[in-house]
Every structure is written in C-alpha cells, then in structure tokens.
C-alpha cells in the first residue's frame, strides 16, 4: 500500500510539473505574439483593419454597412448610440430599452430606432423578432442590475448566439457574466470589455481565488482561456486584448483625463468593427482572429479620439468632445 501511495504521489507530482511547464510555455508563446501600438502594430494589425472597412459607395442600400443592436438604456447609452450610425459608418442603430428610458433616448438623435420593450412581459420575443436584421449586439451600458432586466438580457444573448451574431458585453452586462459565466463562455464571437474592477470580479468568479495584480497580461490570458477563448479587452493604462492564444496591447497615447462615457464609446465602436471584421472575406484578417482585429480597431480609435480632444480641451475634456473627433481620428488611423 505504501508503495502504491508513493507511486501515485510521484505520478501526481509529474503531472503537476508537466501542466505547470505547459502553462508557462503557452504564456510565453502568447507574449511572443503580442504587439503594442507602435511600429509592430501599425505594420501588422492596422492593414488588416483597413481590409475589413467597407468602402463608401452609392451602390449600396441602407443597412449594408451595419445594423447594430444595443441592449441598455439611459445616459450611459448615449455615447455609443451616437457613434454607431453617424460618425463611424454603420447605417442603423436599434436601441432596446425600458419604457421610461425611451423618450430620453429618442431625444438624442433622429437617427436612432428606439424599441421600449426591455421591461415588458414579452421582451425577449419582441427583441428576437429583430435579431435576423442585426449584424452585432452591444449588451450592458445603462442596463441596470434588476433581476428582470438581467434575465431578459441573458435570454437575448442566448438567442443571439444561435444566430452567430457578434456580441460585445460591457458595464452591467459584465455583472451578469460574473454571476453566470456560461451565458457567453466559449462563444467565439463574444467580446468582453472590462475595466480593472470588472475584470477583477470576473477573474475571481471564474478562478475562485484572489487576482494577482502584478501581471495583468498573464491574468488576462488566464481569464480568456477560462472563458473558452473568447476575446477579452482589459482597459487600462494600456489596453490588453487577448483570446488566450494571441495577445495585442494598445498603448497609444490618450490622455490623463478619465471622463465618464469613454467605455461606452469603446463598446459602441467595437460593435461596428466586429461586424466589419466577421463579415469580411477570410483572407482579410490573414488568419488573425477577427475579434482581436476588431478590438484593436476600437481601442486605438478611442485612444486617438481621447488624445485629439484633450489637446483641444485639456482638463475640461468630455466624451462628447471625443465624439467630435471620431471622423478625423478614423481618417488618420485607417484611411490615411
């Protein structure tokens, strides 16, 4: 018995060491593939982004360049709503919100198509009718954490997955994922965009242990793997983008002004880039995960807008000022 016990312990030790070595090698391999927004990124990722951006032409009909759905509400949603149809090049923006939020959102812009159904008894069925028309879905900004709204959002995510729609989850949507990771786990067209606090909550929910904050890249890779290799955008001093296999870092100069709404701008932009990337021919991204390409586009555009707005407005910079920079920032990054 002692001999068998010793053998089992030895085998367990060998297996543990083997797994540890494999994990280290995988991490090193991921880091070797990582780029920062500099010469490497410009040479490797920006051209791929340009391949996915649809050309402007009078031969298209309304909606071909993007019909984006948003599950959210109230002020937070304003920033991502405006960016989609007007500035970045998507054609239509459908907002699915609660009844009391609808009048406020409708007042923002005539381009918005507002559906005040999110808190209705048949919310899921009403929204599902529109899913065949949508090219991507942004879930979370301004959503709130009421059980009924989260339940409806969960069911909408599940039905969107069945249709292969790219799904970007931010803000209160990440609260839902932390409670029920299976709602998006393993969905290769899912993209999470947490800030550090949201990331910590997700990491600890998945790993059941405190986050080691000394190595953000390793932690982001581990969480992406645990989530089934979906794409994760960890926002911070540098934005870390990984699907657990590959990693990009966007450290383009922005500003020290951390005004509210920038995350909404990022997730809204990502909704557009994700549609473009996934609807492009396979050779457009040269084998790179379309989610990574889309996320890099959204982070670099958001940072460029932040930089340009800050140079004009300094400490008084708001996200509304950043929105005004989208056209020139987009042209500078992707069309020059």
When mean pLDDT is compared across 129-138, 276-285, 313-322, the lowest value belongs to: 313-322
Binding-site annotation: residue ranges for (6S)-NADPHX? 142, 195-201, 264
Residue 294 three-state SS:
helix
Q: How far apart are CA 125 and CA 152, in angstroms?
A: 10
Instruction: Report the pLDDT value the prediction gives residue 233, as an integer from 0 to 100.
Output: 98
| The two structure tokens encoding residue 281 | 């021919």
What confidence tens digit (pLDDT) does each residue in 30-85 have?
Answer: 544 555 554 455 568 999 999 999 887 666 655 566 788 999 876 555 555 555 54
- For the chain, the average pLDDT equals 84
- Checking if the pLDDT of 103 tops 80, the result is yes
Structure-token pair, residue 212: 């080691």
Closest listed residue to residue 168, CA positions, set 145, 134, 200:
134
Give residue 11's pLDDT: 53
3-state DSSP call for residue 279? Answer: helix
Residue 248: predicted pLDDT: 94
* Residue pointed to by tokens 């947490």: 194
Binding residues: 142, 195-201, 235-239, 254-264
Annotated binding site for ATP: 235-239, 254-263
pLDDT digits (tens, 9 = 90+) for 209-248: 999 888 999 999 999 999 999 999 999 999 999 999 999 9
DSSP states along 139-186: E-TT----HHHHHHHHHHHHHHHHTT--EEE-THHHHHHHH-GGGTTT
């Amino acid at each position: 018995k002692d001999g068998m016990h010793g053998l089992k312990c030895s085998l367990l030790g060998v297996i543990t060491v083997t797994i540890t070595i494999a994990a280290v090698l995988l991490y090193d391999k991921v880091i070797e593939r990582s780029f920062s927004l500099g010469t490497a990124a410009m040479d490797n990722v920006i051209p791929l982004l340009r391949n996915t951006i649809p050309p402007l032409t009078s031969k298209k009909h309304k909606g071909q360049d993007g019909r984006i759905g948003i599950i959210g509400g109230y002020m937070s949603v304003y920033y991502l709503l405006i960016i989609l149809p007007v500035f970045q090049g998507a054609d239509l923006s459908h907002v699915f919100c609660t009844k009391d939020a609808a009048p406020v959102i409708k007042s923002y812009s005539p381009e918005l198509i507002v559906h005040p159904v999110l808190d209705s008894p048949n919310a899921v069925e009403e929204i599902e009718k529109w899913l065949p028309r949508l090219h991507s879905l942004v879930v979370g900004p301004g959503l709130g954490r009421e059980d009924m709204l989260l339940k409806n959002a969960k069911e909408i995510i599940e039905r969107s997955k069945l249709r292969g729609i790219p799904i970007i989850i931010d803000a209160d949507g990440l609260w839902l994922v932390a409670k029920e990771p299976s709602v998006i786990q393993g969905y290769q067209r899912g993209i999470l965009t947490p800030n550090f606090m949201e990331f910590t909550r997700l990491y600890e929910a998945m790993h059941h242990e405190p986050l080691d904050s000394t190595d953000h890249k390793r932690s982001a890779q581990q969480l992406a793997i645990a989530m089934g290799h979906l794409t994760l955008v960890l926002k911070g001093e540098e934005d870390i983008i990984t699907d657990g296999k590959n990693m990009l870092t966007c450290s383009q100069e922005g500003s020290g002004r951390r005004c509210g709404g920038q995350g909404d701008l990022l997730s809204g932009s990502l909704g557009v880039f994700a549609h473009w990337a996934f609807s492009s021919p396979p050779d457009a991204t040269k084998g790179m995960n379309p989610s990574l390409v889309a996320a890099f586009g959204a982070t670099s555009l958001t940072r460029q807008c932040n930089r340009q707005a800050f140079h004009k407005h300094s400490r008084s910079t708001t996200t509304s000022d950043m929105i005004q920079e989208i056209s020139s920032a987009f042209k500078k990054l992707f069309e020059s």
